[in-house]
Homo-oligomer: A and B are copies of this chain.
């Protein structure tokens, strides 16, 4: 069975590599349209949208091999409000100020579509939550972190595996889920 990752994220590839899975990368280029405002629902919807887009474009209606298409989407949620990627440095500082000294949640949605003879015969679509506790940060620390440039393309304005690591007091749940891919859950579903 060929495994297709419907995401171009290097971190997701890194985690699938660690699991020793052979796969091909085919990112979805569909525009993200969100109907829900509930974080769990948003990531489920978007991951399914990405996987479905790749399935439709490449595999549906074509006889032959078996495929598993995997989509994923991650958001940061603070008081049930979704924090996306920061628009600019000022916006990144605001986000980090909100996350400082408290806990928030990171949700990653995964969608797994099993395809056989050009038809989807099984779908798994779920969201995994991890709680993240952030150390109280001074204004200088926030400014110093924003100046590294790291926050600009990250949901919630931080990268847990990057220079933000020293500000993470602790987590509850799957660390790799915060990196954008709950590899343990994905592997359990694949098995």
Asked if A36 CB lies within 8 Å of chain B CBs, one says no
Q: Are B163 and A18 in contact (CB under 8 A)?
A: yes
Residue from B135, B171, B183 in contact with A165 in the complex, judged by beta carbons closer than 8 Å: B183
Chain B residues lying within 8 Å of A188, measured Cβ to Cβ, are 135
Asked if A167 CB lies within 8 Å of chain B CBs, one says yes
CB distance from A173 to the nearest CB of B (A): 5
With both beta carbons as reference points, the residue of chain B lying nearest to A130 in the complex is identified as B170
Mark interface residues in A34-48 (1 if CB within 8 Å of B CB, else 0).
000000000000000
Residue from B20, B135, B165, B174 in contact with A168 in the complex, judged by beta carbons closer than 8 Å: B174
Q: Enumerate A159-190 residues with CB–CB distance to B below 8 Å.
A: 160, 162-163, 165-176, 183-184, 187-188
Interface residue range, chain A: 20 to 34
CB distance from A102 to the nearest CB of B (A): 14
Asked if A25 CB lies within 8 Å of chain B CBs, one says no
CB distance from A148 to the nearest CB of B (A): 9
Q: Are B169 and A174 in contact (CB under 8 A)?
A: yes
Asked if A15 CB lies within 8 Å of chain B CBs, one says yes
How far apart sit A170 and B175, CA to CA, in the bound complex (Å)? 7
Asked if A63 CB lies within 8 Å of chain B CBs, one says no
How far apart sit A175 and B178, CA to CA, in the bound complex (Å)? 11
Q: Are B135 and A166 in contact (CB under 8 A)?
A: no
With both beta carbons as reference points, the residue of chain B lying nearest to A163 in the complex is identified as B18
Chain B residues lying within 8 Å of A160, measured Cβ to Cβ, are 175
Asked if A19 CB lies within 8 Å of chain B CBs, one says yes
Q: Are B162 and A18 in contact (CB under 8 A)?
A: yes
Chain B residues lying within 8 Å of A175, measured Cβ to Cβ, are 160, 168, 170-171, 175
How far apart sit A20 and B170, CA to CA, in the bound complex (Å)? 20
